[in-house]
Amino acid sequence: MSRQARPLAMTELTGSYHEIGAAHGRIHRQLIERGIRVYGQLFHDFVGIRWEQARDRACHFEAQIAQGFPDILEEMNGIAWGAGVDFIDILTLNCRSEIALTQASGGCSAFALARHGQQWLAQNWDWRHDQLANVVALHIQGEGRPALVTIGEAGMVGKVGLNACGIGVCLNAIRSQTCGSGLPIHIALRKILESDDMESAVAVATHDRVCSPAHFLLAGAQVGNEEGQAVGLEVQPGEPGRITPRDGIVTHTNHLYAKDAPCPVQDFPRIDSHPRLCRLDALLHDELAAHARLDEARLFDILSDHAGAPLSICRHFNPDQPAEERMETLFSVVMNLSERRLTLRHGKPCESADSLSVTLR
């Protein structure tokens, strides 16, 4: 069986929240239906529940979304209408982290890097191969809010991306049994992508809060700040832990490590998380020491690193792992926030130099 990714095209979505959702659902109807089947199996594998039980759990989060980001419920209703499925099915997809990641985290290696007047943000997204075909690239131009690009899964309203204000966000999953009040992870990511500036983006984590632990790597290309700015936020229902840049760099994998976190929670990281973080730090500091100009190709090389394989930054199928631990790199993204440009490689970054790139004006 081939494990290569299909070519991705940018999906253009415009209008009101409901119109954006309806177009999303109509265009990606088959992928959404497949995603529901995939997550039905994943929920069974990870937490031993059926899709109907997952729907029941997802209903718990609707009131929290209505309080913190009510407009996005209109978009989810639109997705459901366009795809011909129930609203609760779309809600369940968008709450999949809260349902499943209490027991199993993905991989993912992310970094922010400021150099030569450019603010970069990049990551690999590692997850089960089942979702490779369901990756979508959405260019959303909503009424009265910044245009944005988000790379994620069909039927879901947000994940990794940037907006026309130069705000970008990456995601690292955290395995933890904590879940409380706040926005579900993917809803919070979308709200960040609709932020006009870093202050309002950070407020999603500090004011709205996020109901289950994750790491959001936020960065912005700010006027008057040559190197931009970045912060790692280890989000959760309480005040997030913060990781600030050192030499212009913030890195993160899949364990919590912010010092003096105001509301510490327990996590259960995979054995490869700490070594990947050390390797990522070493690669980035070596790159800075070389004093070379950075570009997308060089940063994709870092995301293609195989040191420590099979538990490396670029993850490949490993039949020796238990089925529930077989994570692979499903996409890689490099963002130049200073130039409002996002470049995507669908599948493993080491396997092809072909990429999809978009610049927001």
- Best CA proximity match to 79, nearest among 153, 19, 15, 139: 19
| Per-residue confidence (pLDDT) for residue 82, from 0 to 100 | 98
- The β-bridge relationship of strands 10-15 and 135-142 is parallel
Please name the residue that has the structure tokens 């980035």: 284
Per-residue pLDDT averaged across 73-97, rounded? 98
Q: What is the 3-state secondary structure (H, E, C) of 204-215?
A: HHHHHCECCCEE
The tokens for 158 are 């947000």
Give the pLDDT score at 19.
Answer: 98
DSSP H helical segments within the chain, as ranges? 17-27, 29-47, 51-59, 62-68, 71-83, 87-94, 96-100, 185-193, 198-203, 273-289, 296-303
On the 0-12 / 13-18 / 19+ scale of CB atoms within 10 A, 237 is: middle
pLDDT at position 4:
59
pLDDT value of position 312: 95
- Which of 233 and 322 is assigned the larger pLDDT? 233
Q: Which of 181, 175, 186 has its CA nearest to residue 239? A: 181
Neighbours of 352 (CB within 10 A): 13
pLDDT at 46 exceeding the cut of 90: no
**Average pLDDT over every residue of 224-246:** 88
Contact 178, 190 (CB under 8 A): no
Any idea which of 31-35, 232-236, 292-296 has the lowest mean pLDDT?
292-296
Q: Which of 37-46, 198-207, 339-348 has the lowest mean pLDDT?
A: 37-46
Q: Give me the residue spans of the domains in the chain.
A: 109-359
- Name beta bridge partners: 252: 110
Within 13 Å, how many C-alpha atoms sit on residue 299's CB side?
A: 26
* Phi, psi for residue 332 in degrees, rounded to 5: -130, 140
Given a cut of 70, whether residue 223 has pLDDT beyond it is no
What is the C-alpha separation between 69 and 276, in angstroms, rounded? Answer: 34
Domain 109-359 CATH (choose: 1.20.1090.10, 3.40.50.20, 3.60.60.10, 3.30.470.30): 3.60.60.10
* The pair of three-digit structure tokens given for residue 58, joined into one six-digit string: 């997802």
